[in-house]
Each structure stands twice: as C-alpha cells, then as structure tokens.
Structure 1
C-alpha cells in the first residue's frame, strides 16, 4: 500500500486550494483535457465570461496564476511534510463552483498518494521539482501560450510570484527550526541552483530572472518586489486598479 496524506496534512494543503471533494459543475475539468486545444479554448472562453475577461490572453494569464497553486501544493508538501505527492495528470481535476465570479478552482486528487523523502534528499528534491514543473507547470505554460499567444514571460512570472510568497511569507511563519532550515535550503536551490532542465525544455532556470531585490514604493509600508511584467488583472471588468507590484504604477523611492 502506498503512503497517503493524513487528515492534518490535507488540512494544511487546503490553504493552497487542495480539495478532497468533487463539484458537479460544468466549470470543473480534468487537467489532461486542457491539453486539447479546442477544449482549452472553450474552457478559457467560459471562464472569461464568468470573470469579465476582455480576451483570451487576459484569461490565460489569470488562469496560470490559479494553476500555479499546484506548484505551491507540491513544494509545500516537499518542504514541510518531506513528501512527494503523486501528480498524475490523469487523476487530478480542477473543481469550480458553478457561477464562481472569482474563478478560484481547487485541485482535486482522487487519491493523495505520497512518497516519503529518501535519505538522499537532494535527489528527492530534484525529483519533486522536475515532476511539478516539467510535467505540469512548464507543459501548461507552453500549451496555453501556443493556443492564446500569451507571452511565456508573463506566465512564468505569474508562477514565480506565488512561490516567492510561499517561501518568504508562509513558510517563515512556521514554528519549527528544522522546517525553517529546510525551507531556506529548498528555496535557495529552487531559485539559484536548480538547472533549466528541471523545468522543461529550458536553457536557464525560469524563476531566477524574476527574483529581484525588494524596494520601497509610494503607497506601501513595506518593501515589495516589483514585477517585470503586468499580469493584466486590471483588464477585468470592475477591476480598474493595477496590482501594487505592477511595473506600470510602481515608482521607486529607495532600493535595498
């Protein structure tokens, strides 16, 4: 019998939109179906209508911001639980409540099977990163970019910002010195050392280019990391404001 996540671990991962319940909605879909061009376009069109997106490029960008939570689920499990979740594309689905205007799908796994980290943790870490990025994140970015012509740079930065948030905000609050140490090591490897080959058919690490120094910006009490691209969130109906890290509205006062 394979190892399974326990109730407490599932609860911890639910903050990254993991769910153990299926939602009978026409907005729910299996991940492997999204690698069909026609199905993907239809899915984005439907989602765009729900959230008030102006075109497929905008919807594509916002979809990847949601899809990035699959990486957050996998990396949290790797760092905090020391476990590798089975990410078989044929079993995972996106579950969305009917008419959810915010369009925040959750990831449903029929079985939450895991592998416990081996004594060779460096190899274990490589396997986790390669699985989630090469088989999922990079594959979906390529698919959605090909179908919508949205820039891969925008899509990769949409993923990067949530991983920065995970390791800089969420994991630093854990009251366990061993986990905090592991988080520091995993984050450093993910950003600075992991080769492009772990992320797909990529020459260089696609996350590193977005890891810039944080800066003081007008209207913000704390330092923020300004994006290099705009995610196009402001293009949604009823969302006239840009994100506070948007490069188009951030005026630097002082850098680190």
Structure 2
C-alpha cells in the first residue's frame, strides 16, 4: 500500500495564493514580540510584529505535480475536511465567528488539495453547511483515509492542542507539530478525544480535531484571522507529508 510522494516539489505556474496578501494581512498586527511572554515567534520576514520562520513565511505552491509517484492501480486517497459549525462562538474584538474563520481555512485547504491528482477531497464548506452530526454521517458515507476537523478554542487559555483516538496518534502528531512550526504557541498536547462526538463517531482510518489557538485571546485570534492562507497551506502540506510517509 505504500507509495512515495514528493510533497514539497511544486510548479510555479499553479500558485494558489499570492504571498503578498499574507504580508499585507499581517501588517496590521499589534503583537509586540519584545514584550510578549505567552506567544513568541521566530525570524522576522514581514513588516508585522509577528515574526515567521523564513521557510514558511508565505504559502507555498501545491499543484497536480506535487507527487512524482502517484497511485495508479488502486483507489484514490479520500480526505474529509470538517471545519467548526459553531456560529455563536465569537472571536474577540468582533473578528468573526469560529465557524466563519475555520470554514475559510478549510476552503483554502480544499482548493489546494483538490489539485493533487491522487486525492479525493470532500469538505463541509458551504456557507450554510451540514450540522455536526450530518457532516459525520457524510464522512462515514464512504471509505475515508483521513478526517480532519478544524476548530479554535476558548475559555481564557492559550496555545494549541489536538484530539484523536486509538492508533491515529501519528497523524494527529504530524498535524500538531506542523502547525506549531508557524509560531511558538503554548504546547497543550496531543490528547485523547473519544469524549468528543466527532472523534468518537467518525470511521476514517486517521482522525484528528485540532484547536489551533484561543479565539478569546486577542493575539492568537488575530494570528488566525490574519494568516488563514498560511495556516491552510501548512495544513495541506502536512496532510501530503503524512500520506508520503505512511501510504
């Protein structure tokens, strides 16, 4: 079942996102790196006071040539993206709802992964999308290799955590560590999520639900809102990396 995929070699002609839009979006951030003790970033490349790793400071291209060895004699890999549908979970300073911001990231991921010929991608990204139970049923309606749920957190905390179950820890860890490359967020860990409806009921081979950061923390909420393309690209590349390694 294993095939080799070169996930980071891409073609320039199919750039999905203009790196300049990331720079523009981040220029308004008021995060002060010198005085922040709870959220630290590395290696400045933008005008913003948020400082990124130079290797991932802007979205990188994913295209149909992202694999040099695609599966040709078996089914495609089926992926389901399920962003939060929690419209009443509002971001601090009126920066939108959890549902809106997670849907935006999932839609960008969908557009990128759809370009990869060996991936069959489906996502709950309609504006008035499926409820949680409906989306779980849709995910379970066919064989899924990966189910990835996108959320942001609340409750006065900070940092990133991800939920999974059973033997899915490797996939969850891949996604978790990849997001943390974008900034030194507090590491809240890879956690058992069998108490969560989605994790408990989804039947995909590999399941994870990420809480990117806290949307009632201004610094973290602004990071999400101002860096949707960057986050989406990082998560899409991580899925390809996981496929490259484990399939």
Q: Normalized against structure 2, the TM-score is what?
A: 0.29
Structure with the largest fraction of helix: 1
Higher RCO by CA contacts (8 Å cutoff, separation 6 or greater): 2
**Greater C-alpha Rg:** 1
